[in-house]
Amino acid sequence: MSAQRDAWGETLVEIAGVDQRVVVVDGDLANSTKADLFAAAHPERFVEIGIAEQNMVGVAFGMSTLGYRPWLSSFAVFLTHRALDQVRMLVSQTRANVKIAGSYSGLLNGSSGKTHQDIEDLAIMRAMPGMTVLAPADEHEMRAATRWAAEHDGPVYLRIARDAVDPVFGASDVLDPTSPTVIVEGHELTIVSTGVQTSRCVQAVELLRERGLDPRLVHVPMLKPVDGPALLDLVGSGPIVTVEEHSIIGGLGSLVSELVAESGRGGPVLRIGLDDAWSESGPSGFLLDKYGLSPRRVVERVLRWRS
């Protein structure tokens, strides 16, 4: 079991071995994001910019106009918040081939606390016209998503988790990171999740089964563009629970609610995530429990909602 950041760093090294257009532009966090693997393997295509995220984005965009496909290496929060205007004006507006690798996303960032957590990245990037938004479930899907993003023509936001999670997929599975997919079949209700929260939801589904429920689990690796009809088919017409390591505003919960509301069928929808709340520093298990994202807490919430 390895973490998504490792899978991202290793995959990028492999891609760059055959694609000379790939460069990494780093904001002094390569040894956290695992872009240091790239720096060691392809030093001539590793650009250190220091602690200056806005300049990072500008330099990467400038390089992209010369045919490079730069990947930004930093924490998600600095790319989607501090450098938001740069991402918006230089990268998204121009449809530049800049790939935004938002590492240490969500709550779990090694106890750095709320200043370094990013629970709004999906909302912000979803709202940005033309931005592709990916949130893979585990290390295997991270490899597939990284390869997909590298080939894709245009800007991509890739949500990367710091901590390892139990794999959802097998190492030899052929994965399509663009399509929503059923992870566990079931009836009665559908749990929809994204990113590494899907791994925790696999455990939640097992616990719910022990309690006599028969939920389906649907994973959404690409939040934008999203195949709405396909996702609606997968979630069915019964009750829906969305779960995300993210604010319940603007991310997966909003996406599913929008689709269901427009379709006129399905629901009701329960959104599990950060409910307009700031988190804090703490061990990963503590944070997941306190903010309702651990398998046990997801189960409690679903049972309470269904009773």
Partner 1 sequence: MENLSPRTSAELEELARRARWLVLSTVAEAGAGHIGGPLSQMDLLLSLYFNHLRIDPADPAWADRDRFVLSKGHSAIGLYVTLALRGYFPESELATFDQGDSRLQGHPDMRLLPGIDASTGSLGQGLSVGAGMALAAKKQSRGFHTWVVLGDGESEEGMVWEAAYAAARYGLDNLTAIVDRNGLQQFGWPVGPGDRGDRRDPWAGADLAGIFRGFGWNVVEIDGHDLGQIRRSYEAADAARGVSGSPTVILAQTVKGKGISFTEGTYKWHNGIATIEQLDLARAELGVDLVQAGAGR
User: Per the structure block, which two tokens stand in for 81?
Assistant: 């918040």
3-state secondary structure of 179: coil
Q: Is 98 exposed, middle or buried (0-12, 13-18, 19+ CB in 10 A)?
A: buried
Q: CB under 8 A: which stretch of 52-60, 215-223, 243-251, 263-271 binds partner 1?
A: 52-60
Compute how many other C-beta atoms are within 10 angstroms of the C-beta atom of residue 155: 25
Phi, psi of 293 (to 5 degrees): -110, -5
User: Per the structure block, which two tokens stand in for 167?
Assistant: 């794999």
CB of 192 to partner 1, least distance (A): 35
47 lines the binding site for partner 1 (CB under 8 A): yes
| Integer Rg of the chain from CA | 19
153 lines the binding site for partner 1 (CB under 8 A): no
Q: CB under 8 A: which stretch of 48-56, 174-182, 198-206, 269-277 binds partner 1?
A: 48-56
59 lines the binding site for partner 1 (CB under 8 A): yes
Please state, in angstroms and rounded to a whole number, the distance separating the CA atoms of residues 78 and 57. 11
Size of the site for partner 1 (CB under 8 A): 28
* DSSP codes of every residue in 206-230: HHHHHTT---EEEE-SEEES--HHH
Among 1, 18, 43, 66, binds partner 1 (CB under 8 A): 66
86 lines the binding site for partner 1 (CB under 8 A): yes
**Catalytic: 300?**
no
**Window 88-117: contact mask with partner 1 (x via CB under 8 A):** xxx--xxx----------------------
**Window 166-195: contact mask with partner 1 (x via CB under 8 A):** ------------------------------
Ramachandran quadrant class, 106 (left: phi over 0; alpha: psi -120 to 50; beta: rest): left
Q: CB under 8 A: which stretch of 7-15, 32-40, 58-66, 114-122 binds partner 1?
A: 58-66
Residues interacting with partner 1, by CB under 8 A? 44-45, 47, 49-50, 52, 54-55, 57-68, 85-86, 88-90, 93-95
Active site residues: 53
